[in-house]
Amino acid sequence: MKTKQELEQAVLMLEEQVATNKTMSETYQQDLEKAKKDLADMNKPELTNHMYDIIFEAIEEGIGYFDFSDSGNYDIEYELDYDGRVNASSIELNNASELNESIMRKIEKRFKVSHTE
């Protein structure tokens, strides 16, 4: 049978091993996540800075042509406040697809689009 001091020493050693293994496990988890990200990035098409700028400008222009001031583009729910004031409790954009199409038209004007994979 072990003495109290031997058992205390054994507990301390095991706690140190658990802490070390936990640190190693976290390191391995971080390495695994990085490797998965690197693998996923490898399969992505490369986007040059010039192409990025072109796409950015096209998106900016596509958004600029969308009429955000047209109230018909939104569903607005109103509620009566405790003070008797009318508030908009939620606002939802109805025509997100129109906004998307506006942006995509501007992008397609700037690139030769190939619909083959």
Mean pLDDT over the full length of the chain: 86
Confidence check: pLDDT of 5 > 80 = yes
pLDDT value for 56: 92
> Exposed (0-12), middle (13-18) or buried (19+): which is 106, by Cβ within 10 Å?
buried
The full set of domain ranges for the chain reads 1-44, 45-117
Tell me the H-state helices in the chain.
4-42, 49-64, 96-110
Confidence tier at 22 by pLDDT (50, 70, 90): confident
Which residues lie closer than 8 Å to 63 by C-beta, 6 or more apart?
99, 102, 103
Q: What would the mean pLDDT of 11-40 be, rounded to a whole number?
A: 88
Confidence check: pLDDT of 13 > 70 = yes
Q: Indicate whether this model's pTM tops 0.85.
A: no
Q: How far is CA 100 from CA 30, 44, 60, 76, 117, in A?
A: 36, 22, 12, 21, 22
79: part of which helix (H) or strand (E)?
Answer: strand 74-80
**pLDDT tens digits, one per residue of 72-100:** 888 889 999 888 899 988 888 887 888 88
Instruction: Tell me the sheet residues that pair with 78.
Output: 88
Q: How far is CA 39 from CA 11, 28, 33, 42, 87, in A?
A: 41, 16, 10, 5, 49
Confidence check: pLDDT of 44 > 70 = yes
Which residues lie closer than 8 Å to 27 by C-beta, 6 or more apart?
none
Q: Provide the percentage of residues in the chain whose pLDDT is more than 90.
A: 13
Confidence tier at 117 by pLDDT (50, 70, 90): low
